[in-house]
Structure 1
Amino acid sequence: MSQILTLELSDRVFSSIQQQAKKIGISPERLAAILLEQQFDQVFKLLLTEAEKEVARAKFERHFGEINLGYATDVDNESIDADLAREYANTHEED
């Protein structure tokens, strides 16, 4: 759902919005709406209750995890280069 909001802007602000909108190929009205929505999204994030922040954090952390390759890995360049060479040489074709 959307609502119509009439605003009065200074000539300087409107001119700036108009120039930027023209550069990216949208109407000044659309650019102003996008800018307002982005600004309020940031404000709303700051206003979240601690419970809402915990829910958001839990949703985000569900993506955390680990992977077990079945063998130890190392972080030195030689080991990484050897792993890459082995993978590049593997055709992944089953016999």
Structure 2
Amino acid sequence: MKTITLQVPDEVYEACLHMAQKYGRSAEEWVMEFLLKHAPGSLQRSDDEQRKAARERLRPYAGAQSLGYPTGVDNESIDADLASEYERDS
């Protein structure tokens, strides 16, 4: 791995910081991702690599919860569960 040091105008630096904060990255990470995404030819990440990276970023938010009984996606059972919970809270 090599290091590149760049001097950029203040406006470019501020834009990089803004985008990095928006995506929860450091400025260096965001610039690297941007370059990899927009680099020509062999440096560009494949769709599979992009999907894998996106999955890894989402993984901490994934999960499942067991209610102790099977559930369905029909609105009647969902409405009944909600009504039961609202009655219990009041």
**TM-score bracket relative to the smaller structure:** 0.3 to 0.5
**Could you state the TM-score of these two structures normalised by the residue count of structure 2?**
0.45
**Could you state the TM-score of these two structures normalised by the residue count of structure 1?**
0.43
